[in-house]
């Protein structure tokens, strides 16, 4: 090895050590912001509890339709303008009547995120095949003429544009900035690491997933220059009964930062099944294929913005009622936090993957109390949950929980690194928590503030209650 090569190797090793140290330091302190029970690394011990993926509530009818609003894909972005408080939506409509391979970008607004002011508006953009992925960097972004960013797929890869207002768009680069061999793409912003993420669908040419739609990712600081090649972030789970068969994915999107965790949604596609058992694809308006297909949405999360873990149990499942507008596909594509709620926008299909694309692909609305993705539930017999240990830098704590009034109860105690209760912060010191709130204040009888600077576990005891997250302030 040459001296120059040796120096480079040492520098790479030092950089890797530095990155590892930063990761350890980050993990060694409790972050401000919500700590979600979705995160499997958060919990080191639990007893007498059921871990359950929560199901958000859904409206019975689509909020954006195929027949009136022209929607013909499941791609959608919704933001709430921080100044006007209006909700703004971008989605795809056909570029011309009956055109299945070219899109225009449609735009519509709402006062409440549910009822949309019609008619929609067609926005002038560079040519789009599919995609309506928009990022709003806010009124205080450095380049106000490029406050909004847009990404879509066209002619072999990801393309990007910018806009001062989300209406008038200009390309950020000529042509494709990141080649991919499949037409599902999205971008999101990672505020924890201060960079963009490209979430891409790639169909491998060989290997165990040959020909399947498999989500990949890349990252960039400017949307033009991306880390290459993109890496795989999701794969079928051979151990999950629900994924036996030809499981693939219609992409990942809807990424939000919650505390030090990124939470996204993965669209599962089963093109080897029909939504109505006993029926043939032709009876489901798809005479060209052996199966019409079905799909649902699962949750994914990441600690580093590059590697993801996911659930296999549906978070947004298909409508159980035959013939309903979202019976075949329910694909979450965007989520936003609005006060004490999380709003989810999803593409719903009635018959199957390719059936009646100009009338039966529509946008639905789901909602849940904020951060209630996964909960640990106890019944009449009390259960316990202990978190990992980390440094405490906060003075106040709230708990996101549903506790049955009267019969239910939740308490929290603090343990030192060896597992011993801190004086004044044991269960007997904790004032019982009851009711249903995303932000129950946690209080101890003789302590007004959390003991900052200490390494602590949080130990929860709950009865007839569900714990979703806790927040440190």
Q: How far is Cα 69 from Cα 41, in angstroms, rounded to an integer?
A: 43
Q: Is residue 14 part of a domain?
A: no
Residues 44 and 128 both lie in one domain: no
Same structural domain for residues 218 and 156? yes
Structure tokens, 152: 């879509």
Which domain does 47 fall in, by range? 30-53+374-472
- Say which CATH number the domain at 121 has: 2.115.10.20
How many domains does the chain divide into?
2
The reply to whether 44 and 155 lie within a common domain is: no
Both 61 and 99 in a single domain? yes
**Can you list the residues of the chain whose pLDDT is less than 50?**
1-26
Query: Among candidates 109, 83, 13, 31, which has minimal Cα distance to 303?
Result: 31
CATH number of 42's domain: 2.60.120.260
First to last CA, the chain: 52
One domain for residues 312 and 387: no
2 in a structural domain: no
- Report whether 293 contacts 270 (CB < 8 A): yes
Residues whose CB is less than 8 angstroms from the CB of residue 233 and which lie 6 or more positions away in sequence, other chains included: 199, 215, 216, 217, 252, 300, 306, 307, 308
Say what the pLDDT of residue 24 is.
40
Judge whether 1 lies within some domain.
Answer: no
pLDDT tens, residue by residue, 20-41? 333 344 457 998 889 999 999 9
| 463 domain-assigned | yes
Taking a C-beta distance cutoff of 8 angstroms, is the pair 89, 125 a contact? no
Phi and psi for 405 in degrees, rounded to 5?
Answer: -65, 140
- pLDDT of 5 reads 41
Residues 250, 298, 74, 123, CA torsion sign = negative
Q: What percent of the chain has pLDDT over 90?
A: 92
pLDDT at res. 31: 84
Residue at token pair 């409509």: 93
**Judging by beta carbons within 10 Å of its beta carbon (0-12, 13-18, 19+), is residue 43 exposed, middle or buried?**
middle
The per-residue pLDDT for 245 is 96
Contact in structure between 152 and 169 (CB atoms under 8 Å): no
Domain end, chosen from 320, 335, 369, is at 369
Give the per-residue SS3 of the chain: CCHHHHHHHHHHHHHHHHHHHHHHHHHCECCCEEEECCCCCCEEEEECCEEEECCCEECCCCCECCCCCCCCCCCEEEEECCCCCCEEEEEEEECCCCCCCCEEEEEEEECCCCCEEEEEEEEEEEEECEEEEEEECCCCCCCHHHCEEEEEECCCEEEEEEECCCCCCEECCCCCCEECCCCCEEEEEECCCCEEEEEEEECCCCCCCCCCCEEEEEEECCCCCCCCCCEECCCCCCCCHHHCCCEEEEEEEEEEEECCEEEEEEEEEECCCCCCCCCCHHHHCCCCCCCCCEEEEEEEEECCCCCCEECCCCCECCCCCCCCCCCCEEEEEEEEEECCEEEEEEEEECCCCCCCCCCCEEEEEEEEECCCCEEEEECCCCEEEEECCEECCCCCEEEEEEECCCCCEEEEEEECCCCCECCCCCHHHECCECEEEEEEECCECCECCCCCCCEEEEEEEEECEEEEEEEEC
Separation between Cα atoms, residue 446 and residue 40, nearest integer Å = 32
Contact 380, 464 (CB under 8 A): yes
Rounded CA separation 353/378 (Å): 39
Read off φ and ψ for residue 340, nearest 5 degrees: -90, 15
Q: Is 200 exposed, middle or buried (0-12, 13-18, 19+ CB in 10 A)?
A: buried
Q: Is residue 278 domain-resident?
A: yes
Tell me, yes or no, whether 10 lies in a domain: no
- pLDDT value, residue 28: 78
Selection from 101, 75, 116 nearest residue 362 by Cα: 75
Q: Are residues 48 and 123 in the same domain?
A: no
What integer pLDDT is reported at residue 1 of this predicted model? 42
Asked which of 369, 397, 420 is the last residue of a domain, the reply is: 369
Same domain, 347 and 397: no
In a domain, 421, yes or no: yes
pTM over 0.75: yes
Find the length of the chain. 473
Domain shared by 184 and 241, yes or no:
yes
338 forms beta bridges with: 341
* 322, 412: one domain: no
Token readout for 318 is 């298909």
Q: pLDDT tens-digit profile of 402-428?
A: 999 989 999 999 999 999 999 999 999
Q: Which residues contact 275 (CB under 8 A, 6 or more apart)?
A: 284, 292, 293, 294, 318, 327, 328, 351, 352
Question: Given this model, what pLDDT does residue 448 score?
Answer: 85
Does residue 356 share a domain with residue 261? yes
- pLDDT at residue 4, rounded to an integer: 42
Domain final residue pick, 350, 369, 388: 369
| Cβ–Cβ < 8 Å for 200, 188 | no
Which tens digits make up the pLDDT trace of 313-355? Answer: 999 999 999 999 999 999 999 999 999 999 999 999 999 999 9
Together in a domain, 336 and 464:
no
Same domain as 230, residue 279? yes
* 257 belongs to a structural domain: yes
């Amino acid at each position: 090895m040459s001296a120059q090569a040796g120096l480079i190797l040492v520098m790479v090793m030092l950089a890797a050590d530095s990155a590892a140290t930063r990761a350890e330091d980050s993990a060694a302190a409790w972050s401000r912001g919500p700590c979600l029970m979705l995160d499997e690394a958060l919990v080191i011990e639990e007893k007498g509890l059921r871990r359950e993926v929560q199901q958000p509530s859904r409206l019975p009818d689509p909020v954006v339709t195929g027949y009136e609003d022209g929607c013909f894909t499941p791609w959608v972005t919704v933001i709430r303008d921080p100044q006007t408080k209006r909700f703004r939506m971008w989605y795809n409509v056909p570029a011309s009547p009956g055109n299945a391979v070219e899109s225009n970008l449609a735009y519509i607004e709402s006062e409440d995120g549910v009822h949309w002011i019609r008619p929609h508006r067609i926005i002038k953009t560079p040519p789009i095949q599919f995609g309506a992925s928009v990022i709003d960097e806010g009124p205080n972004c450095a380049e106000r003429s490029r406050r909004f960013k847009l990404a879509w797929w066209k002619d072999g890869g990801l393309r990007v544009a910018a806009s001062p207002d989300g209406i008038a768009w200009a390309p950020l680069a000529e042509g494709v900035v990141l080649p991919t061999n499949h037409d599902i793409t999205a971008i999101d912003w990672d505020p924890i690491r201060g960079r963009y993420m490209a979430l891409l669908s790639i169909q491998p040419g060989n290997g165990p997933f040959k020909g399947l739609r498999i989500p990949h990712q890349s990252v960039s600081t400017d949307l033009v220059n991306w880390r290459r090649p993109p890496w795989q972030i999701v794969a079928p789970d051979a151990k999950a009964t629900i994924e036996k068969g030809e499981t693939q994915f219609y992409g990942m999107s809807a990424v939000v930062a919650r505390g030090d965790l990124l939470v996204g949604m993965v669209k599962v596609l089963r093109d080897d099944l029909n939504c109505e058992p006993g029926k043939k694809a032709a009876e489901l308006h798809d005479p060209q294929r052996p199966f019409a297909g079905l799909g649902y949405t699962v949750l994914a999360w990441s600690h580093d913005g590059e590697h993801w873990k996911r659930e296999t149990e549906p978070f947004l499942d298909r409508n159980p009622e035959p013939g309903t507008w979202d019976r075949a596909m329910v694909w979450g594509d965007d989520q936003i936090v609005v006060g004490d709620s999380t709003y989810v926008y999803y593409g719903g299909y009635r018959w199957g993957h390719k059936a009646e694309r100009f009338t039966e692909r529509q946008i639905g609305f789901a909602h849940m109390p904020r951060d209630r993705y996964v909960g640990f539930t106890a019944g009449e017999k009390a259960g316990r949950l202990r978190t990992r240990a980390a440094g405490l830098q906060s003075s106040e704590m709230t708990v996101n929980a549903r506790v049955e009034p009267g019969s239910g109860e939740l308490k929290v105690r603090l343990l030192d690194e060896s597992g011993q209760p801190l004086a004044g912060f044991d269960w007997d010191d904790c004032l019982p928590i009851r009711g249903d709130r995303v932000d129950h204040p946690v209080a101890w009888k003789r302590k007004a503030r959390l003991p900052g600077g200490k390494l602590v576990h949080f130990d929860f005891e709950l009865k007839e209650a569900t714990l979703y997250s806790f927040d440190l302030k």
